[in-house]
Structure 1
Amino acid sequence: MNKFIVVVFSIVLVLISGCSSNNFQIKLSTPKSFTPGQASPIELKILDLEGKPVEGAKVSAVLKMQGMSHGDLSMKLQEIGDGVYAGKANIEMEGDYTAAIKIDYKGEKWAGEKRFSIVYKNAQ
């Protein structure tokens, strides 16, 4: 009986720690198109679970093109206000990307992914 209680308690602890790791609401904003040779703006809006802006966090992202292995685009995002963090990336190819995001806020660390697509902007 004691082993059963220990196993159940261990499972509950694992579930609680896994559930508490997502304490942020994150919205990724990217342009729909890019111009080669020009940096594209990338923004993250980060809110806590109560919907309040997360201010004073350290935020970084690595952009990876899905299905390709030609390198990653690392970027640190700077806080511009109201829970919005911005940076720029030199995107070279159109396609589907994954942004691997890391947040360090008051000792709490979070890592997750957001996906987006971008196309080449035709000269007009």
Structure 2
Amino acid sequence: MNKFTILIIGLVMVLMAGCSSNNIEIKLTTPKSFTPGQLTPIQVKILDPKGQPVKGAKVSAKLDMQGMSHGDTSLNFQETGNGVYVGKANLEMEGDYTAAIQIDYDGEKSLSEKRFSIVYNQAQ
């Protein structure tokens, strides 16, 4: 391998290590469908590096529809217990979304991106 390739691999490894410094695990749960004009619950479960539920975090997210430029949807989450936080989003379109989830916990901020797909509720 040439020196440039080794340098690039080294930089990628350093960046990966820096991005996972606190090792918080985030699990995103969304419904498979939504009803236009109604708020849709979005849930995250947060676990600490020991696998224990995180309590007392400040959680927010921005939802961005992939491939669209109509802005993003911001939401704040409320803690419901056992490491679970719930927010409600006003989704306008079905499709593929990216949730940029920000967590402020124990003096550290974490940012994680999760993807999900959602369709219109056909049982109206």
For the aligned pair, the TM-score class normalised by the smaller chain equals 0.7 to 0.9
Q: CA RMSD in A?
A: 1.7
Distance 1:93 1:58, change over 3 A: same
Structure 1: unaligned runs, 5 residues or longer: 1-10
1:76 aligns with 2:86: no
**Max radius of gyration: which structure?**
1
- Structure 1 residue identity aligned to 2:45: K
Point out the more displaced range, 17-26 or 92-101: 17-26
Give the distance between the partners of 2:97 and 2:34, measured in 1 at CA. 13
% of aligned pairs identical?
72
Structure 2: unaligned runs, 5 residues or longer: 1-10
Q: Contact between 1:21 and 1:110, CA under 8 Å: does it hold in 2?
A: no
- Structure 1 residue identity aligned to 2:39: A
Distance 1:38 1:18, change over 3 A: same
- Structure 2 residue identity aligned to 1:32: K
Distance 1:22 1:95, change over 3 A: farther
Distance 1:37 1:20, change over 3 A: closer
Aligned position for 2:120: 120
Question: How far off is 1:94 after superposition?
Answer: 0.4
SS in 1 for 2:77: strand
Give the distance between the partners of 2:123 and 2:112, measured in 1 at CA. 35
SS in 2 for 1:18: helix
Give the distance between the partners of 2:76 and 2:38, measured in 1 at CA. 17
Q: How does 1:11-30 map onto structure 2 within 5 Å?
A: 14=14, 18=18, 20-30=20-30
TM-score, normalisation: structure 2: 0.84
Q: How does 1:1-124 map onto structure 2 within 5 Å?
A: 14=14, 18=18, 20-124=20-124
TM-score, normalisation: structure 1: 0.84
Q: Following TM superposition, where does structure 1 have runs of at least 4 consecutive aligned residues deviating by more than 3 angstroms?
A: 14-17
